[in-house]
Chains A and B, each alone.
Chain A
Amino acid sequence: MTTATFQWLTLVTLTALTFSVAETGLSGSSILIPVLLATLLKGRLVIDRFMALQGVSGPWRWVVLGWLLLVLGLIAYTFLYS
């Protein structure tokens, strides 16, 4: 199995886990934290491995990762304080 295939299977598994958590009917922070963590992991896999930004010189990786962290962080804030 290639590394990319393993990464694809990881992404599929995380998607299935996210879907399964939603199907349990959980809500609030009990669903927020695991789902956002899975999303962060999936996003990082796409940025670092599929986009191949890990190890690239220049600010690109940190800008894209920063975008992901900022968006997910603010989403978490709005859901926790609503």
Chain B
Amino acid sequence: MWFFILAELLVFGVFFLAYAFARMRNVELFNASQLELDRISGAINTILLISGSYFVVRAVDQIRHDRSRACAHWLIAAMACGGTFLILKLVEFGAKFEAGINMSTNTFFMFYLGLGFFHFMHVILGMVILGAVALKAWKGGYSASNYGGVETGAAYWHMVDLVWIVLFPLIYILN
């Protein structure tokens, strides 16, 4: 799993740097376009993913104490954070499309929509992984001596969070 996570980080890193270097040649365009973004939505989404990561930490802690049902509950809470993130993101993207903004509007929005959608898909995959782990935990498939699957799912979810922690200031804040 760690090789997979590192490969994901590498891909996101390349996209982040592509954005940053593209911005060097179009500073005014990027600064003007960034003003169109919903920064509050971005901040709330950051809190949601951070909270989801915290809930996953609590889930791992519960399974270490052999409490598989409590582990499943924390994982479901993390998935709820992920689901709310997705809803907010859809609302944000919907508002942009309604305003006539799409990937071909300009370079900034190509990165904003492209990176946002790429990360969006990773949140969905993270939720699927957490869902599978939660189901197995609920059925008693993990224990204090056998919880590698919970840690693996947790590591993937934290990676999704880590990527957003960089993406949020890069796209929404820095100018």
Contact = CB atoms under 8 A, between A and B. Distances in A.
Interface of A: 4-5, 7-8, 11-12, 15-16, 18-19, 21-23, 27, 31-32, 35-36, 38-39, 42-43, 46-47, 49-51, 60, 63-64, 67-68, 70-72, 74-75, 78-79, 81-82
B46 A67 contact: no
B48 to A, nearest CB: 10
Contacts of B53: 8, 46, 50
16 contacts: A4-B57, A4-B61, A12-B50, A15-B47, A22-B39, A31-B174, A32-B174, A39-B165, A43-B165, A43-B166, A46-B158, A50-B154, A64-B9, A75-B166, A79-B23, A82-B23
A2 to B, nearest CB: 8
Given A50-B158, A79-B20, A31 B9 contact: no
Contacts of A51: 154-155, 158-159, 162
Interface stretch (B10-18, B97-105, B115-123, B138-146): B10-18
A33 to B, nearest CB: 11
Interface of B is mostly: helix
Contacts of B162: 43, 46-47, 51, 64, 68
Given A4-B61, A51-B158, A18 B54 contact: no
A8 B50 contact: yes
Interface in B30-65: 31, 39-40, 43, 46-47, 50-51, 53-54, 56-58, 61
Contacts of A75: 16-17, 20, 166, 170, 174
**Which of B2, B57, B155, B175 is most buried by chain A, counting CB atoms within 10 A of its CB?**
B57
Contact of A19 (B24, B43, B174): B43
Contacts of A81: 24
Contact of B43 (A15, A70, A82): A15
Contacts of B23: 78-79, 82
Contacts of A79: 20, 23, 174
